[in-house]
Structure 1
Amino acid sequence: MSLLLSVTTPLFGQDGSRKPTKQPRKESSNKRTEIDSENDADDPDLPGSRGLRINKEDYLRRRSEHIRILRGLDSIEELNLKNPRSLAIEEMQYQQRMMRQLDANNQWTVIESATEPGAWKELGPAPIPNGQTTRISTPVSGRVTTIAVHPANPDIVYVGTAQGGLYRSLNGGDSWRQLMDGAKSLAIGAIAISPSNTSTIWVGTGEASFSCSSFFGVGLYRIEDADTDSPKLYGPFNRDGNNNDIFSYRSIGEILVHPTDPNTIFVASASGIGGMGCEAPVGAPIRGLYRSTNAMSPNPKFSPVTISGVNDLSITDMIFEPQNPNKMVISVRGTSFEGGGIYKTNNAISPNPVFTRTLTLGANGTRVRASLSANKIGNTVTIYAATGESGTGACATYRQHGQLRVSTDAGETWSSPIGSANGFCGAQCGYDIAVAVAPDNANNVLLGGSANSICSGVLKRATNGSNFSASDVGLHADTHAIAFAPSNPSVVYTGNDGGVWRSADGGINWTSLNKSGFNATQFMSLALHPTDPNFTIGGTQDNGTQWLRPDGTFVRADFGDGGYAQIDQNAKDSTVVTMYHTYFNAPGAVVGFARVTHTGDAQDYGWEFFGCGGTPNGIGCYDSAVQFYAPMAIGPGNPNSLYFGTDRLYRSSDRGENMAIVSQQFLAGAAITAIGISPQNDKVRIVGLETGKVYRTMNGFPTLEDVTGPIPAYHISRAVIDPKDVNTAYVTLSGYGLASGQHIWKTSNLNAINPSWKPMGNGIPDAPVNAFVVDPANSYNLYAGTDIGVFISTDGGLTWVPFGSGLPVVAVFDMAIQNPARILRIATHGRGLWETSIALNNPPPPPPPPPVDNPINPTGLTAKAVSTTEVDLKWDDNSENETGFIIERCLGAGCSNFSMIAELGTNRTTYSDTGLALATTYSYRVKAFNGAGNSDYSNIATVTTASPPQTQFMLTATTQNASQIYLSWNIPSNNVLGFRIDRCVGAPCTNFTPLVVLGASVSTYIDSGLPSGVTHNYRITAITNNDTIVSNVASATTLANPGAPSNLVAEALSPSQIRLKWVDTSTNEIGFRVERCMGVGCENFTQIALVGTDTTEIIDIGLVANTTYNYRVLAFNGTGVSAYSNIATATTLFINGIPAAPSNLRLVFASSNRIDVAWDDNAENEMWFELVHQIRGERYGRVVYLSPNTTFFSTTGLNRLTTYYYRIRACNSNGCSPYSAEIPATTK
């Protein structure tokens, strides 16, 4: 086996989104990542204190793409689907109504009591008490996107969240109430209070923050009596006069309500999933400014407002001149040549208002977002515009963006940028940008941006309109909203990625309002303790890894973003607990996980990071692909085996300290997205890829087999093996656009050469399934977490229905069962953790529409005992329409208490029942099933397993480890008085000596303290009243350390690569450790790789030219390590001159947002490539740095119908070649 460590991957650059295709991704998951040690130094999302550094813009883009796939957005865009999530929600709600009708007829039980199984309970965190906040730690929750304060009461405030819905407080944030749990979208983009009827508010869904985690919406909702005890929710409203949907799959950037006419409202429509490397779905409605003149009617209609020069562009913000709705100012996100900038009209209420662009934004082809705030004192109207324009000076050098301009003539003219605000929103001005001016003083201004860095800041304050300084103590990074109370400007609210805060002194000091009842945390994962019903950890977006402690309270256990989480299931208490979690993963920078073995270390700086970027443990830095949140799984054993996925599967038996490769590289550029390990047998494994491929091994063999079969080519989100049957497995799919029932696939013969996969999601609407669990108490009970809620099957997947009551329509990303307490706990992306109790036996779901006929029953069942522990069954399949067969078994002849032992696929006629007791009688029967029902049973077949050979009695010896051998035997008669064990050493040997004398009822013994690698022979004498009985001789050899590798040879292949080869002299290693040091005669060796068994060759890459390296290798297994091999030395090749220029640069593929190019590599000594693409007229192009030997690159996130010009050159430490000939490439 040859392990090639050299891979062709881009070093830095843009990447795009995976489409539902079986081709590997060529962008995001195989990209090495730019390291930036300066920018975003104080960003809480990035665990920088561990040295895990990544540029924040690249970080946000990679995270957004990961979540985009989980939410199914790729498939919506690729397949041009129309409102699939809304349709799925409507189907789920129809099912719920049907269940209630059945309940009225006593055919179904609807959950009414909060303590019944299926009644969902919100756990929180509400709040996270120790948030990742500035200078001091304050409570946090989750991302707040927009805030509206009552015009006459500063204590009445409405707060919109990213995926948690709309919250209201009537007491200044001391308590909160959720107002939109029943809405089809919980992504809130805008809130407006009707000035003439302040009990009516408008809520725009879809977050206009231009990241792929800022999700689209379904239009507008109207809430009447919003400030009373009985608010009424109406909507969504999203239709024009011709009944066309104009808002679904867009976001709402702002809503304005006429100050005296509640029927007239304006709506700013923007991209729902634009920016950061992705675009809105193809075919989504036209963006722009819309107006309704019958807003308070039961079905308000909206019509577009024409703005000259602006066509299908996002309106990110808009304001009325205070008390004058005819004068309106809006911001348009676009380039300078397509209409980007700030516009004003003086006749907004007229049928055809005329807008004039008064400030052009978007120079050099960039799209710039702007946020607006207005103040009117006397006749002077002051407007501030916070924009995403490039910074200047040092801020430009460090790519810090953001400018603030002011107009003192109601938006007719604009000032130059205000110097002290330069660069305030850093590298992500499309995501976090906010400005607010006090209603009573045009000089009191608050400006919100990114994390504190060279220029950017969480929140800045000026009292003279120009000199800004930080005012952010206790605030979380990434500000999205600032709102002064109109009736009391001393009261200010602000919202960011951590939640909502209030100031009572105009923005000087801040108090967290993240309290009980306000739950907006976006969980990615969870993991449960084996015995404690509360103990849970889970990764969250923006707010670290959370720990629900045994006392039921939350605390943040680690900083950074939180991804996957696992808890070792051998924990005996709630203190000595081994826990794992990931932060994020970026090839070439950070690939691995963090671990603690004691809860006292579960805090900032207490976790040890293992892998690339931390303590080396064998996980490669440059595997060709890895998910942003790379999957982890645990298997059986003590400690639990630990698995981690990149483009290959890693396994550890020592809590992650050494990760051995236990698979092939499945497909270059394609990352593992799901790992399933049998709880019964650690060698039974399945993995799913982002391409839709599924692989398995039944015996731990490191080359897994492709068993994809008919499963569609969608992102595999979960892979699960039945905890009671190693041959039954499930995979679930993300995305939209699948046929009915195809988001879940099941096989009951995973061990077959070609397992039979069948769709098993009947009843689940077309929505991503990102969480899945099999009830360990009853394998018929299955639970699925989808993008719209939780579903249950009580018949092994044949039918599904919505599960429980009280859960909002929210995306579920993970779920697990705490079996001792019988609790199902889920992690939602926007509403924190929820749980419900689950019964041992659930009521059956309503039957699906039946096929024409039930299947015909099988006949001719026979049972044959083929060993002491195995019975082979065979029957005749008489049906043409069965879905599969169910095998049932009971103990004894004539028994009647049959129970299911296996479910098989269609056309099966044999089954092997293993793991049985010797000399025991069993009875079997078989039936066929399909959607219509079950056939009659077959005949009953009875069989008795074989007895052991009839010797005096049978002794077996089994190796336990390097120093122990396990002996077992059967007791030969009823009158045994005791046993004597004799032993001799060596093979063969006859000089037995007594070892130990044991009592008459003993039938096992462990011989301990033995030398490793030595054969021991045993016999047992049974002592009776009349005689002695001597057993057979049984032998076993203790485990030995592996033999040392030999004949290590090092060969320089290039200026940056050395190939290592060695001879494997051992037969019992589980892997090899490769060590290296630099320099002639060096001795400071460090580990550079862990590779799997039988590996005899690797290539070490990324080396320094003309430099000598020494290498050595040792083998290891569960017993210990071998001696080192010989030391091999090689010197990398000398680079002579600059590399030859690449040639034949050519267009390979173009779509609406993607261009693929390829070229010929003519050099032998390049160290990197520089690929440049730009739009004609741009001052600077985008440079992408690529690793040597690369000949292809894909650029995504491009503008439609735009021509880009490409050129490329090769470089090394001596310089760069000339550029290739430039080529044009145009998107469609």
Structure 2
Amino acid sequence: MSLVAQNPTEYEVIQKSLAQKAAMRETSLVKNLPFKNIGPTVMSGRVADVSVNPKNVTEFYVGYASGGLWYTNNNGTTFTPVLDNASTQNIGDIAVDWEAGTIWVGTGEKNSSRSSYAGIGILKSTDKGATWTHVGLSDAHHVSRILINPNNKDEVIVGVIGHLYSSNAERGVFKTVDGGKTWVKSLFINNETGVIDIAVAPENFNIMYAASWERVRKAWSFDGDGNSAAIYKSTDAGSSWVKIGANSGFPIGEGVGRIGLAVFNESTVYALHDSQFRRPKDASEKHSDALTKEDFKTMSSKDFLDIADKKLNAYLKNNGFQEKYRAENVKQMVRVGSVKPIDLAKYLEDANAVLFDTQVIGAEVFKTTDGGVSWKKTHDYFLDGVYSSYGYYFGEIRVDLQDENGIYVLGVPIIKSKDGGKTFTSISKENVHSDHQALWVNPKKSGHILNGNDGGLNLSYDDGENWIKLNDPAVGQFYSVYADNQKNYKVYGGLQDNGVWVADNNAKIDKGWQQSGQNPYESIMGGDGMQVQVDERNQNIVYTGYQFGNYYRIDRAAETQKYIQPKHVLGENPYRFNWQTPIHLSKHNQDILYLGGNKLHRSLNRGDAWETISGDLTAGGKKGNVAYGTLTSISESPFQFGLLYAGSDDGYVHVTKNGGGSWTRVSDAFPENLWISRVVASKFKKERVYVTLNGYRFDDFTPYIYVSDDYGQNWRDLGNQLPTAAVNVLKEDSENEDLLYVGTDNGLYASLDRGLSWEAFSKNLPNVAVHDLVIQPKAKELIVATHGRSLYKANIAMLQKMNAAILAKSIHLFSIENLKKNTAWGRSWSQWSKANTPEIKIPFYVNADKEVVLEIYSGAVKVNAISVTAKKGYNEAIFDVSFSKKGKKAFEKAMKDAAVETAKNGVFYLLKGKYRVKTSSSESEFEIK
């Protein structure tokens, strides 16, 4: 198995970059701009692992693949994040020493999906997550398993899968006996093979089994099997390992895929195998004479013309061929040679069809009762529907320690067996997501299980017959976000494996919806949710879809939807559509929609019909099993209809100035082959365009950002001041030409000088992947789509005003929002409730760390003053709109007929009127109405 790497980022560079970002977060001019999480929580995100206190099963930790570590001590009713002050939120596995309160986190997801983010090694906390220490394995990238010796808590075993997109040596099994100070690599196979699972005998830590996995992912292919995949056994607590013999009965060879392990005791072990060996051809599998696409792959033209029209039409209709392709005219196309029979098979072989190819054996369960000497498959039939062709995404198996024959297999459904794997039943009941990644089985009570999946966490006490959903954390994995232009605007977003959802931007995110039965977020599309565009003339018309370009026009008022993906002509090679296919609704005419495959398509009538306005705008694709050579970003200039840019996953950027009449490639100066994550035609200058490139799929995490002021003929690099993390999105501000926002795989940044320097956002916003950004210009709000912590919102009105003149000042007070007087101030609804306490935000900028005194005046009377410890940059002071005692007296004296009454909580609140806030050199005002 060969491996081609671009230029993987060295771990020393990453470590240096993490220190750089930590320093930036302290000195950033925008670090005090607050972000608010606006959910959603209901659909959650992918769980990587759970760890439960064996002495109190209502206390546990949950690690999310890209959403951090969360803690509950009330059986999942609520959760608290405990990794937010760490350098990453990407988790592969967790382990907890419950007696000492020590937590081990293996960073970097164990799965190998399109957004399985690399980690930074092993993190350890000895204070229940208050602080974290990095304790090694910096170049591991992806950690699969952590085991703590219950008799010696400093002895820890770690399984490492290694880099996802490149080869490296730091993979295999590692062991420490001094709590992570030093590590010994006790099992190493080669630079392309890591360890995906380790399981230990519950009664003897010396006996453990490990599964190696040979896998190579590229942007255009995934190979998840090979000769190096095998099972190993250790009898000395992971210090040394012996490979299970070739004649053991367990599969060997090129088709051996991912392996999961479950140990019942020293001798009895179950292994779940993702077999990539092809299924034997069986003529009996075809139960009717109906045509299939396989029939056409070897069919001659003569035999094709002999097919009965009725039979051919049944094939064409059942497989979704366009109306123009019916038996009579397709046969004519074959007669004249414009189409071959094999084209009727190729027509259906898009990327989505390949994804669900089921010709491999797939999931199979083996068992040994003699400590791995011999293995037997537990079932004599295919476990259809458990893995399909993407078993690399799953691979976990568990055994009930109260019942040797009770096992659980995690896949697309979760299935269980009570007879040692001879027969299975599904426990993927209602209220449970379909993709299963982690499972805890209570070792002391059969039937009590915690199930982690792509839709969060589920709890069952009756062995999966009924489930409770524990989705309190906001850990959604967003690909995209959109905000419409209504006054109370709606936010839309597409999520990994959780479809497309929509809600009012100010929706209340709490458990109150369970009382009403109506969550504020509404699902409007299934699958992996993709981009969204909304018709500004009619907010009920929404364009969105799922993976590989399957888009729809939805009329939410009429509750209808129409499939609108462009279709190639029979005989033409199928269009290639990216997993995240880009769409763009023209601002010049809202009937015009663009959609990018490997060619750019345009509809003049809202997707009802399409015209192709380019040739192939990619390098042409590569042989593989993942759609590649596809467009990833489209942008149209707001200055000119038909001034379009298109970027591809293989590093090409093209521009047309005449609506696709001619195209010019403008990306030759960029690093080759990198994914164009964004191309942005500027709204401030017609000739300006921004491009971001993403090297994630080569393990190259360099931030690539470029700008051109001449339609892409010449470029300047804007990314060299950013910490190392691949860039996903760039957004121009809606008002300030010099203000840019950039989302990376590890956080969000702003530039106040059009990319010359960068500032890190951090208030309430952890180090998490940011996939998309949108600005609602009327509300002056920035919506951040994270891939792991759902959506965040921030008001950027003051940031938009931070120009060079303000930055040169010692202090500047920004405008203050007015407040409406309320008779409920200082009162509570009952003696059991907290008093209603008003507050007003006073935003200001200072050019250095300093103490700032803000004086509040009514006319010439100073009614109060507050002192703030301000940090250089943007700050917000919170004022409770009260009189000081001295201010009250002065106010009553100056306003002889005014009487300031005491509120129920003993506070004197300001009366209706206009007020000024003053500093030594700046002032602003607000009104209480």
Tell whether the structures are fold-level matches, with TM greater than 0.5: yes
The change in CA–CA distance for 1:678 and 1:211 in structure 2 (over 3 A counts) is closer
The change in CA–CA distance for 1:237 and 1:357 in structure 2 (over 3 A counts) is farther
* Matching residue within 456, 466, 469 for 1:499: 456
**Within 1, Cα distance between the matches of 2:481 and 2:495?**
9
1:119 aligns with 2:34: yes
**Within 2, Cα distance between the matches of 1:838 and 1:545?**
26
**Within 2, Cα distance between the matches of 1:610 and 1:470?**
35
**Within 1, Cα distance between the matches of 2:230 and 2:715?**
54
Cα offset, 1:146, TM superposition: 1.8
Report the equivalent of 1:427.
Answer: 389
Report the equivalent of 1:932.
Answer: none
Cα offset, 1:126, TM superposition: 0.2
Residue type of the partner of 1:93? A
Alignment TM-score, normalising by the size of structure 1: 0.53
Cα offset, 1:259, TM superposition: 0.9
Report the equivalent of 2:579.
Answer: 628
Cα offset, 1:721, TM superposition: 2.1
Report the equivalent of 2:532.
Answer: 565
Residue type of the partner of 1:728? R
**Within 2, Cα distance between the matches of 1:286 and 1:783?**
35
**Within 2, Cα distance between the matches of 1:347 and 1:355?**
14
SS at match of 1:682: coil
* Matching residue within 407, 415, 439 for 1:459: 415
Report the equivalent of 2:467.
Answer: 510
**What does the per-residue CA deviation read over 1:958-993, in whole Å, with 9 as the maximum and x for residues that have no partner?**
xxxxxxxxxxxxxxxxxxxxxxxxxxxxxxxxxxxx
**Within 1, Cα distance between the matches of 2:797 and 2:689?**
23
1:579 aligns with 2:542: yes
- Contact 2:449–2:460, Cα closer than 8 Å, also in 1: yes
Report the equivalent of 1:836.
Answer: 794
- Contact 2:618–2:650, Cα closer than 8 Å, also in 1: no
SS at match of 1:777: coil
| Superposition map of 1:453-852 within 5 A | 457-462=413-418, 466-474=422-430, 475-514=432-471, 516=472, 518-549=473-504, 552=507, 553-571=520-538, 576-585=539-548, 591=549, 593-599=551-557, 601=559, 606-612=560-566, 622=573, 625-639=576-590, 641-667=592-618, 669=620, 670-700=629-659, 702-708=661-667, 710-713=669-672, 714-735=674-695, 743-750=704-711, 755-761=713-719, 763-842=721-800
* Matching residue within 245, 249, 253 for 1:364: 253
Q: Could you tell which deviates more after superposition, 491-500 or 765-774? A: 765-774
SS at match of 2:74: coil
The change in CA–CA distance for 1:343 and 1:397 in structure 2 (over 3 A counts) is same
Cα offset, 1:661, TM superposition: 3.0
The change in CA–CA distance for 1:313 and 1:685 in structure 2 (over 3 A counts) is closer
**Within 2, Cα distance between the matches of 1:529 and 1:336?**
45
**What does the per-residue CA deviation read over 1:913-951, in whole Å, with 9 as the maximum and x for residues that have no partner?**
xxxxxxxxxxxxxxxxxxxxxxxxxxxxxxxxxxxxxxx
Report the equivalent of 2:49.
Answer: 146
The change in CA–CA distance for 1:529 and 1:491 in structure 2 (over 3 A counts) is same
- Contact 1:492–1:504, Cα closer than 8 Å, also in 2: yes
Could you list the runs of 5+ residues in structure 2 that have no partner in the other structure? Answer: 215-223, 286-356, 508-519, 621-628, 806-929
Cα offset, 1:806, TM superposition: 2.1
Residue type of the partner of 1:384? Y
The change in CA–CA distance for 1:842 and 1:487 in structure 2 (over 3 A counts) is farther
Identity of aligned residues (%): 26
Alignment TM-score, normalising by the size of structure 2: 0.69
* Matching residue within 127, 137, 144 for 1:253: 144
- Contact 2:752–2:802, Cα closer than 8 Å, also in 1: yes
Report the equivalent of 1:342.
Answer: 231
SS at match of 1:90: helix
| Superposition map of 1:1036-1185 within 5 A | none
| Superposition map of 1:846-885 within 5 A | none
The number of aligned residues is 696
* Matching residue within 219, 233, 255 for 2:121: 219
Cα offset, 1:471, TM superposition: 1.6
Cα offset, 1:823, TM superposition: 0.7
The change in CA–CA distance for 1:326 and 1:812 in structure 2 (over 3 A counts) is same
The change in CA–CA distance for 1:778 and 1:336 in structure 2 (over 3 A counts) is closer
**Within 2, Cα distance between the matches of 1:93 and 1:348?**
37
* Matching residue within 367, 380, 386 for 2:272: 386
1:160 aligns with 2:63: yes
Cα offset, 1:728, TM superposition: 2.4
**What does the per-residue CA deviation read over 1:1167-1202, in whole Å, with 9 as the maximum and x for residues that have no partner?**
xxxxxxxxxxxxxxxxxxxxxxxxxxxxxxxxxxxx
- Contact 2:695–2:702, Cα closer than 8 Å, also in 1: no
| Superposition map of 1:62-81 within 5 A | 75-77=6-8, 81=10
SS at match of 1:525: strand
SS at match of 2:24: helix
Cα offset, 1:368, TM superposition: 2.6
SS at match of 1:655: coil
**Within 2, Cα distance between the matches of 1:402 and 1:698?**
52
SS at match of 1:430: helix
The change in CA–CA distance for 1:799 and 1:464 in structure 2 (over 3 A counts) is closer
- Contact 1:631–1:645, Cα closer than 8 Å, also in 2: yes
**What does the per-residue CA deviation read over 1:1073-1123, in whole Å, with 9 as the maximum and x for residues that have no partner?**
xxxxxxxxxxxxxxxxxxxxxxxxxxxxxxxxxxxxxxxxxxxxxxxxxxx
SS at match of 1:185: coil
- Contact 2:378–2:422, Cα closer than 8 Å, also in 1: no
Report the equivalent of 1:281.
Answer: 166
**Within 1, Cα distance between the matches of 2:114 and 2:644?**
32
Cα offset, 1:493, TM superposition: 0.7
Cα offset, 1:846, TM superposition: 11
**What does the per-residue CA deviation read over 1:119-158, in whole Å, with 9 as the maximum and x for residues that have no partner?**
1212221013xxxxxxxxxxxx221122222111111222
- Contact 1:677–1:685, Cα closer than 8 Å, also in 2: yes
**Within 2, Cα distance between the matches of 1:458 and 1:256?**
24
- Contact 2:155–2:178, Cα closer than 8 Å, also in 1: yes
SS at match of 1:94: helix
1:237 aligns with 2:196: no
Report the equivalent of 2:378.
Answer: 417
Cα offset, 1:492, TM superposition: 0.4
The change in CA–CA distance for 1:800 and 1:347 in structure 2 (over 3 A counts) is closer
- Contact 1:633–1:643, Cα closer than 8 Å, also in 2: yes
1:325 aligns with 2:283: no
1:316 aligns with 2:316: no
Report the equivalent of 1:266.
Answer: 157
- Contact 2:187–2:240, Cα closer than 8 Å, also in 1: yes
**Within 1, Cα distance between the matches of 2:371 and 2:159?**
20
**Within 2, Cα distance between the matches of 1:620 and 1:569?**
38
**Within 2, Cα distance between the matches of 1:568 and 1:75?**
41
Q: Could you tell which deviates more after superposition, 147-156 or 364-373? A: 364-373
**What does the per-residue CA deviation read over 1:880-908, in whole Å, with 9 as the maximum and x for residues that have no partner?**
xxxxxxxxxxxxxxxxxxxxxxxxxxxxx
The change in CA–CA distance for 1:705 and 1:369 in structure 2 (over 3 A counts) is closer
**Within 2, Cα distance between the matches of 1:486 and 1:303?**
31
Residue type of the partner of 1:385? A
Could you list the runs of 5+ residues in structure 1 that have no partner in the other structure? Answer: 1-13, 20-73, 100-107, 112-117, 129-140, 239-245, 274-279, 451-456, 586-590, 848-1228
Cα offset, 1:769, TM superposition: 2.1
- Contact 1:493–1:503, Cα closer than 8 Å, also in 2: yes
Cα offset, 1:268, TM superposition: 1.1
